[in-house]
Amino acid sequence: GAVVSQHPSWVICKSGTSVKIECRSLDFQATTMFWYRQFPKQSLMLMATSNEGSKATYEQGVEKDKFLINHASLTLSTLTVTSAHPEDSSFYICSAPSGGNSYNEQFFGPGTRLTVL
């Protein structure tokens, strides 16, 4: 099956700094990628849809200036948490559909655990 990687797998940063998380589709191209956020013992909440060559689409309640998304190529999307605060600490997971014109299975990255001190 298709593989999606994330880097880093975990990161600890100081409050006020910015953190960049990468999501890569390793063996397929993805014009769309999705970013989710998961708090401990909770479900995944979709944050935004990353679109190659255009602006990301954010879900209601997600601050676009706080969570910057860039889909630089057909295999890479990045999520930058700007001016991170402790409440941004969470598990961030990306996914990518395998492509095509019909509904396609999404492949998930292993997640990135962010801890803001």
Judged by CB under 8 A, the stretch of 17-25, 42-50, 63-71, 74-82 that binds other proteins is 42-50
The DSSP symbol for 100 reads S
Paired strand residues for 93: 36
Judged by CB under 8 A, the stretch of 15-23, 63-71, 72-80, 94-102 that binds other proteins is 94-102
- Burial pattern 7-24, b for ≥16 Cβ within 10 A else e, equals eeeebebeeeeebebbbb
Q: Which of 32, 55, 74, 115 contacts other proteins by CB under 8 A?
A: 32
Residue 47: closest CA among 22, 19, 24, 66: 66
Q: Which of 25, 75, 78, 95 contacts other proteins by CB under 8 A?
A: 95
Residue 73 touches other proteins, criterion: CB under 8 A: no
Type of residue found at 48: A
Residue 30 touches other proteins, criterion: CB under 8 A: no
- The answer for residues whose C-beta is within 8 angstroms of residue 41's C-beta and 6 or more apart is none
Binding region for other proteins (CB under 8 A): 6, 32, 34, 41-46, 49, 91, 93, 95, 97, 102-106, 108-111, 113
